[in-house]
Amino acid sequence: MPGDNLITIMKKLIEKYHEQISYLFWGGMTTLVSYATYFVFSRLFDLDPLISNVLSWICAVAFAYVTNKIFVFRSASWEPGVVANEVWKFVSARIFSFFLEMAIMFVFVKLFHFNDLVVKVCANIVVVIVNYFLSKFLIFAKKKGREE
């Protein structure tokens, strides 16, 4: 059947680009966690936008580490040394991107008085791109000749 060929092609593409597709999906879910928690902290608890951003960042980083390790980069090892190394690199990279996001929020929300939710969306796009490259090439990079 003609549809069977399309399904086969789709399966091959999904398999070939699993990492990128999975990263986009789980990155989207992480973004939802970030936005939802930001909304709760900033609107329901009426906290300052920068404090709300810190708290939403903590929630998103915890969620992102687990999903990146398991579903995106398929880092199967739970050996303490491997996990400690990944967590150290992951948190360090996210601290870097956190300060990048905070700088964007500060400049555009505090100095230029742009809408904080719009700025949050734009800042998050930048952060997602930076985080992908840090995760792929620094945190969950596979050693040549072996799979972890």
Domain parsing of the chain, residue ranges: 19-139
pLDDT tens profile 65-123: 999 999 999 888 899 999 899 999 999 999 999 899 999 999 999 999 999 999 999 99
Quote the tokens at residue 56: 């939403």
The model scores a pTM over 0.75: no
Stated length of the chain: 148
For 18, 38, 42, 112, the CA distances from 34, given in Å and listed in that order, are 23, 6, 12, 23
- Dihedral pair phi/psi, residue 5, rounded to 5°: -65, -40
Which residue, 63, 56, 20, 58, is CA-closest to 39?
A: 56
Q: How far apart are the C-alpha atoms of 53 and 56, rounded to whole Å?
A: 5
pLDDT band of residue 148 (cuts 50, 70, 90) is: very low
Q: How far apart are the C-alpha atoms of 67 and 136, rounded to whole Å?
A: 14
What confidence score (pLDDT) does residue 147 get? 47
